[in-house]
Structure 1
């Protein structure tokens, strides 16, 4: 593709650059991603990209924001209670991770402070406060939820499981309890396993809220 000149004459904007960057990472991975390769993909001079996005770190943030925008619709209905918002957000996040496994490490390892990320969290924590959960529990909830999501999804994606995979066999002589529990751990990476563990995480948040709430009315919804 022939290169075009620098600046706005190339017809670029932040959204077009971010979309092309996501497609490039999806195809070739983060290890091969760079501004020069992206410029070649767009047919522009690298300085044209810097005119809109100031540096590679900002470009990685733009990639994250573009992918997180796919999660945002799951949080938009404020009529749902906090657990339903959390579940919808978590499942949309999982689906996005499977669509963009090469991009997902950016979501898991970089601070997500874009407007789209903060707006989704704002809807969740607002619903939690409206349900009467104590502020400290609400403040801890995003880290609790996304700590689980990022760790779980990184493990599944690194293991190459699209859902329903098997865990390695365990020596029953050396680890009898783990071997006995192994049938209950079938379906590694499946939506059923994901939803079950997510329920444990959300139940833990609710139990902590009730323990810390004293005489306050703490609702599960």
Structure 2
């Protein structure tokens, strides 16, 4: 593809560039991503990209925003109740992670301050406050929920769902005893069960405050 010069827009805008970057990372992985490679993919000079995104860091943030916007567009309206809202957020976040596993680490490692991310959190916090949960519990809830979601999803995206490492019962008898109960590693059933544990913990703390 012939490369356009620095001053040629090629019909680019911030959204088009970010969506192309997501497609490139989905295909080739985050480690291989760079502005020059993206420029080659779009057939433009790298400076055409920098005209819209002031550096690679800004572009990475825009990529995070693109996939979150996609997630919320698919999610529809949240249900009533804070537990149902938390499940709604968690289930769609999990779906996003599996749809964009190469992009997902950006959601974990970069601060998510785009309006779409703040809107989702605001809905969750609003549902919790409406239900009468103490503000201290409400303030801690996003970190509790997303600490679980980010850690768990990063782990399972790098593993083999439905499998667990073999454990030598002679050396690790307690691990071996519970290993059969971990055979659904990475499955939706396990995700739902662990999510239940997290939400039960938030509920219990609210009741005891």
| Cα displacement (A) at 1:175 | 2.1
| Cα displacement (A) at 1:116 | 0.8
Please give the TM-score of this superposition, normalised by the length of structure 2: 0.95
Q: Which runs of 4+ in 1 moved over 6 A?
A: none
Deviation per residue, 1:139-170 (Å, 9 max, x gap): 111110010011001111111x3x3x211121
Q: Which residue of 2 aligns with 1:130?
A: 130
SS at match of 2:70: coil
Tell me if 1:176 matches 2:179. Answer: no
CA distance in 1, matches of 2:101, 2:80: 29
CA distance in 1, matches of 2:167, 2:78: 45
Q: Which residue of 2 aligns with 1:217?
A: none
CA distance in 1, matches of 2:86, 2:66: 20
CA distance in 2, matches of 1:83, 1:127: 8
User: Number of residue pairs matched?
Assistant: 209
Tell me if 1:202 matches 2:199. Answer: yes
Conservation of the 8 A alpha-carbon contact between 1:6 and 1:47:
yes
Please give the TM-score of this superposition, normalised by the length of structure 1: 0.90
SS at match of 1:154: helix
SS at match of 2:180: helix
SS at match of 2:138: helix
Q: Which residue of 2 aligns with 1:215?
A: none
Alignment of 1:28-43 (within 5 A): 28-43=28-43
Q: Which residue of 1 aligns with 2:57?
A: 57
The worse-fitting range, judged by mean Cα deviation, of 171-180 and 95-104 is 171-180
CA distance in 1, matches of 2:38, 2:179: 45
CA distance in 1, matches of 2:92, 2:117: 13
Conservation of the 8 A alpha-carbon contact between 2:18 and 2:62:
yes
